[in-house]
Amino acid sequence: MKKLFLLLVVMLSLSGCMSAMVQPEGTLPAGFEIRTVAVKPEVIMEAQPFVQTPGEVWGGAIGGLLGAAIAAESSSVGQFSALMQQGNIDLKEIVSSSFKEQLRSNRTKIKLAKGAGDVSVQLTVLFYGIHPDGPFSSEVEPMLEVGGQVFDHKGRHVLNISESLKFPSDEEVTPRELEEYLSRPKLLAQAYKQLADIISKSMIEQLINRGQ
């Protein structure tokens, strides 16, 4: 039943506004080793949030400025966006910081460049939002997909890297009641940070393997 439910959510998400990344215009030379990566300062937000919740609990669950901002929105997407904004959840900053942190880690063969790197990466949020943990669950979990366009030192687009966590496991992120995120937006920020860290590690591994 849960697999069928997830398939339906996949179909709905694919009907959204996510678009494919532009195909590379060139390739890296054979034998070229990527040792340092520069990260472009601005993360592109290509997607609008995909929001599916188990019930109408928005706004009325909490008070204060956050509750008022959420209640003022008529759609679940608008309410989710209000939660992100009023909760100071900057998804672009979360994605960028996570990718840089993973590059700075001693566990990776590729490092963050102090200036111009062997290559540069333009990060893009391709998809994000929340959905129920299952067809009969009252808990929700966040979703995230990030892409990266890789450019060589001449500015040519030579590689695409990406990773998606639309249906993270309970080990990757803990499902929670929507009211928990509404009353404690920091929990949602932490959940997106967890997903961003997993995604960043995978994308860097793709860089190490040259996207193969």
Nearest to 95 by CA among 6, 165, 153: 165
Query: What would the two tokens of residue 206 be?
Result: 């793709």
| Sign of the alpha-carbon dihedral angle for 148, 9, 175, 54 | positive
Where in the chain are the domains? Answer: 2-8+32-56+90-208
Decide: pTM greater than 0.75.
yes
Taking each helix axis from N to C end, the angle separating 64-71 and 76-86, rounded to the nearest 10 degrees, works out to 150
In angstroms, the CA 186 to CA 115 distance is: 32
Residues whose CB falls within 8 Å of the CB of residue 175, separated by 6 or more in sequence, listed in order: 133, 137, 139, 140, 141
In angstroms, the CA 212 to CA 200 distance is: 16
158-190: per-residue pLDDT in tens? 999 999 998 778 778 888 988 888 889 999 999
Least confident of 69-73, 84-88, 138-142, 182-186: 69-73
Least confident of 43-47, 56-60, 149-153: 56-60
Q: Are 211 and 159 in contact (CB under 8 A)?
A: yes
Top-confidence residue, 206 or 86? 206
Highest mean pLDDT: which of 46-55, 137-146, 191-200? 191-200
CATH architecture assigned to 2-8+32-56+90-208: 3-Layer(aba) Sandwich (3.40)
Least confident of 20-24, 83-87, 108-112: 20-24
Q: Are 121 and 36 in contact (CB under 8 A)?
A: no
